[in-house]
Structures are given as C-alpha cells and as structure tokens.
A and B are shown apart, each in its own frame.
Chain A
C-alpha cells in the first residue's frame, strides 16, 4: 500500500485499521470487514433531495446507519430507493442535503461539490449493481484487482492474493481466469460483490442485487450477502426480496413517492406496519392475488 493510502486510511479513523490494512488481515477471514464492532454512526444522510427535471424523486430523505448494521430499503419501483443509493456513492448528485460517511467530511449538496469530495465519498463505499456491470474484456481476477491496483495502487501480487482469497470464499476458486460471459448470472453477481469487497470499503451498497437473476440463482447471491452481514459488514441494500430483508436486516425502510413512509425493525414493519401505504405494498408483494 502506498503512503497516501496509509494516510487516507488513517484519516478514516482508527476503527477502520483492520479493513484498510491488508497485511494485518493475513490469515484472517477474507470476508471479514476487520472493523471493531461498535455502535458509532457510519453513515449519516440528512434531507437528501433530488429532482430529474420536474420529477421530484427524493423529498428530504434521512438515513442513519451504524457500524455493522444492515439497512434494507424496500418500496415500489420509482419510489426513489435506487436514487438514494446512487447518491451515497456519488453517481447522482443530490440537489440538497448532507452526507457523511465514516467520519469523512459532511458533504453539503446545496452547493456544488468538488471532484475531490466526490472521490472521497466513493472511496468509503462500494456498489454492487443490479446488472453486475462486470468488465467483459477482463477475466474474473482482473475485474477484481482493477480497482485496488489502478486506483488504490496496491501492489499487483498482493491484490491478486487478496482477490483469490475472496473469490475462493464465495465459491469461485475455479473461475479466476474465466471471462464474465462464461459465468452464470449468480456467479457474475458474486464476482460483482467480490469486486466491491476488494476495495475494502467501509460501507457496501447493494442496488437490487438479485433482481436480474433467474429465480433459482437468487439464493446463492443472497447467501453471500447474508454471510457478509453476519460478519459485521455495514450495508445498505435495495431489494424486493422481503424474505431476505426479514432475515438479514437490522432496520427496514419503506419508501414511496420519494419519502421514507415508515421505518422499523423487520419484525415490526413486516408483521405490524403502522402506515396504510406500507400495509398495501406488503400485501401486493406477499399476497398478489388477494
């Protein structure tokens, strides 16, 4: 790791030490985030607003995620879930509101943010896309090490060793040299997850990670995400898989029309929703024929 990376991870705060420093993690579980579990707030977003033209997609969204917590966003399509996620990763620029990740600077989107601020935001989180977005011209291993080697300047040999360990852990030991087109949808998405993990982010963002998969492939991907959750990774997951939300989430947010309609522990939200809109949404998904 280059000196700048050391500085960067040092700035991220002591809690990040294990995750950002690969040599410490040698021999440890490659999936483990290496963060000392504590309750400190990792992500704080306040009053996020976003419009596309006249279409107001987000109307003041608040989101707070503590270290090690799994927050799941559910809601009908067009409710703004994905836009929230993309805003956290700097793929969309909100029109207003503040975002702070891992003690980084609190970005205020009511004024234009600089390139450096956008990179700082991305540096702390990693995204898994619905359509995996693997690089088709690179092998599985090359996909995974591209970020660490090109961006974080990790020596190639070390990046490859770490990538191998991660791939082995998600059951892709035989696929290092395969091209993405040679993999099943579930395998592709697992590579997508490993590509995100290899960046050693503080926060994992999943944007409908199983929506593009054949039903029989959904389980293997959710299983990997659940394992990551159990091992202490902090994550925000947008999904339609309510069963997964129920089993893995610490908190579930139901969004509709650009606002968070209701939030709560999965046990409460799924069994005794307070809001009529939540009730109707759950009804539509769980009992579509009623």
Chain B
C-alpha cells in the first residue's frame, strides 16, 4: 500500500470518527456545560457568601486540575466507590463540568459588563430581576461573550481527543487504530490533525456569522 493510498483510505474513517464521535461529544458537552456555567456564574455573582463561595470553589477545582485527570477520576476512579459510568456518559460529564468551570468566568464577566443602568431600566418598567436578566441583560451579555466562548468551544473540540483514553470511539481513537495497524504514525496523525483543523476553521466562520448578527445593534 502506498502512502497516498493510505491517506485516502483512512480519510473517510477518520472523518466519520469526527462526525460521529468528536462533534456530537463536543456539542453535547458544550450545551450542558453552558447551562452549568450560567448557573455557576449567577451563583458567583450572588451576594450570598455561601452561594458564591461554592461557585468559587467549583471554578477553582476545575481550572486547577488537568482535564485528563478529571476524565480518569470519573471513568476509572468512580467504579471504586461502586459508581460505574460508560465511556460516552463519562466523557460528556467530564467535559461538561470542565466547560462549566471555564465558561462560568466568561459569562460572569459578560453579565457584569452590561451597565448597571440596564438593570435599573428593567426595574423601573416593572420587571422582576429574573425577567430583567433574561430579556435585557443576557442578550447583551451574549454579544460580549461570543468571542471568548468560541475559544472555549474550539478548545473543547480538540480536547475531546482525550476521550480516546477512556475508550470513546472518536476521531483520535480511530487514528490510533489505523496508525497501529499501518505503522504509518506520522502520516495518519498529521491527517487527523488536519481534520481537526478543518473542523475548527468551520467553527471560526460560524463564530464570525454569529458575531455579525449580534453586532447589528452597535455603532461601528
């Protein structure tokens, strides 16, 4: 088998590993992670010291420990206390928790970047704090947080390769299998890298579209 033939033959399996493994894993984890992050951000902003303390602690643990260790604790560690979780759910849990920690700080900063007068304007037209948050503050915070959250998402797409170490069949796991079988490590891993890059290029252009859409109400 020639090298180029190998590249061609492995392209579809790798791409499929990305489309059926990497992307769904990243999307599910990002969606759950964002929900979690919003909750943690609001807790962190809370004036209640216990509540904001819990959020602070969570963020500190997530940011202060390696993602790979978090994955291993959940997949290999939890069975020791009788909790066995399959590879896919383990990966989604670990990645969501991770995104939750990082994105919480982004969302918190974005919420705080909205001028205080916007809260007051909401209150004076009779809105509750909850309605003010969802109708007025979050839509404005969203615009500010798209660039940093896109960063988080792009990092996540690449970090899902770590799931190969807890037996999730995503793109990098497929690459490892092809490489081990063909002994063409350099070629196959570079090919996988290029496909990751391709994914991230698509995501970046998606980010541009969203930014354009959200920028329509600000002066240029």
Listed in ascending order, the chain A residues whose CB lies under 8 Å from chain B are 89-91, 119, 122-123, 126-127, 129, 131, 133-138, 146-147, 150-152, 179-182, 195-196, 199
Q: Which residues of B contact A (CB under 8 A)?
A: 115, 117-118, 120-121, 123-127, 131, 135-136, 139-140, 143, 216-219
Question: A181 touching B218 by the CB < 8 A rule?
Answer: yes
List the B side residues contacting A133 at CB < 8 Å. 115, 117-118, 120-121
Whether the Cβ atoms of A151 and B126 lie closer than 8 Å is: yes
How far does the alpha carbon of A136 sit from the alpha carbon of B140 in the complex, in Å?
8
9 more A-B residue pairs beyond the given contacts A133-B117, A133-B118, A146-B135, with a C-beta to C-beta distance below 8 A: A89-B124, A122-B126, A127-B124, A129-B121, A131-B115, A134-B121, A150-B135, A151-B125, A180-B217
Q: Are A119 and B136 also in contact (CB < 8 A) when A91-B120, A129-B117, A133-B120 are?
A: no
Docked Cα-Cα span, A231 to B69, in Å, equals 71
Bound CA span A85–B40, Å: 35
17 A-B contact pairs sorted by A residue (CB < 8 Å): A90-B123, A91-B120, A119-B126, A122-B124, A122-B126, A127-B124, A133-B117, A133-B120, A137-B140, A147-B126, A147-B127, A150-B131, A151-B125, A152-B126, A180-B217, A181-B217, A181-B218
Which are the 7 A-B pairs with shortest beta-carbon distances?
A147-B125, A133-B121, A151-B126, A133-B117, A127-B124, A181-B219, A179-B217
* Complex-state Cα separation, A282 to B105, whole angstroms: 50
Determine how close the nearest CB of chain B comes to the CB of A225; give it in whole angstroms: 17
Expressed in whole angstroms, the Cα–Cα distance for A196 and B125 within the complex equals: 7
Interface residue from B115, B126, B219 paired with A123 (Cβ < 8 Å): B126
B136 contact set on A, CB distance < 8 A: 135
Residues on B with C-beta less than 8 A from A138 are: 217
**Contact between chains at A195 and B125 (CB < 8 Å):** yes
Q: Which residues of A contact B118 (CB under 8 A)?
A: 133, 135
Q: How far is the CB of B21 from chain A (nearest CB, A)?
A: 37
Task: State A151–B131 Cα separation when bound (angstroms).
Answer: 9
Q: How far is the CA of A196 from the CA of B218 in the complex (A)?
A: 23
* A123 vs B121: C-alpha distance when bound (angstroms): 13
Could you say which residues of chain A place their CB within 8 Å of the CB of B117?
129, 131, 133
Chain A residues, CB < 8 A from B127: 147, 150-151
Check if B125 sits within 8 Å of A126, measured CB to CB: yes
Q: Are B217 and A137 in contact (CB under 8 A)?
A: yes
Distance between B154 CB and nearest chain A CB, rounded to angstroms = 25
Query: Distance (Å) between the CB of B194 and the closest chain A CB?
Result: 39
For B140, list chain A residues within 8 Å (CB): 136-137
In the complex, what residues of B have CB within 8 A of residue A152's CB? 126
Please, how many angstroms separate the alpha-carbon atoms of A199 and B124 in the complex?
A: 10
Interface centre among B121, B124, B218 (most CB of A within 10 A): B124
- Chain B residues with CB under 8 Å of A181's CB are 217-219
Chain B residue nearest to A86 (CB atoms) is B120
- Complex Cα spacing A131 to B117, Å: 8
Nearest CB of B to A91, in Å = 6
Task: With a 10 A CB-CB cut-off, give which of B115, B136, B216 has the most chain A CB atoms.
Answer: B136
Closest B residue, CB atoms, query A128: B124
Tell me, in angstroms, the Cα distance from A91 to B126 when the chains sit together: 11
Complex Cα spacing A147 to B123, Å = 10
Write the nearest CB–CB distance from B61 to chain A, whole angstroms: 35
Question: Once bound together, how far apart are the Cα atoms of A134 and B219, in whole Å?
Answer: 14
B218–A199 contact, CB under 8 A?
A: no
Q: Which residue of A lies closest to B129 (CB)?
A: A115
Measured between beta carbons, the chain A residues less than 8 angstroms from B120 are 91, 127, 129, 133
Checking B123, B125, B143 against A146 with a beta-carbon cut-off of 8 angstroms, the contacting residue is B125
Question: Which of A91, A136, A151 sits near B218, CB closer than 8 Å?
Answer: A136
How far apart sit A152 and B216, CA to CA, in the bound complex (Å)? 28
What's the minimum C-beta distance from A149 to chain B, rounded to whole angstroms? 10
Which of these, B121, B123, B216, contacts A135 with CB under 8 Å?
B121
Could you tell me the distance between the alpha carbons of A122 and B126 in the complex, rounded to whole angstroms? 6
Q: Cα distance A234–B126 when bound, in Å?
A: 19
**A180–B143 CA distance with the chains assembled, in angstroms:** 16
> Least Cβ distance of A16 to chain B in Å?
16
Q: How many Å lie between the Cα of A146 and that of B125 in the bound state?
A: 8
CB neighbours (8 Å) of A127 from chain B are: 120, 124
> In the assembled complex, how far is the CB of residue B122 from the closest CB belonging to chain A, in whole angstroms?
8
Q: How far is the CA of A152 from the CA of B127 in the complex (A)?
A: 10
- The distance from the CB of A209 to the nearest CB of chain B, in whole angstroms, is 14
Given that A131-B117, A181-B218, A181-B219 are contacting pairs, would A126 and B135 also be in contact in the complex, using a CB cutoff of 8 Å? no
* Contact partners of A131 in chain B: CB under 8 A: 115, 117
Instruction: Please determine whether B124 and A126 come into contact, CB atoms closer than 8 angstroms.
Output: yes
B26 to chain A, nearest CB (A): 28
**For residue B118, which residue of chain A has the nearest CB?**
A133
Interfacial chain A residues near B219, Cβ < 8 Å:
181-182
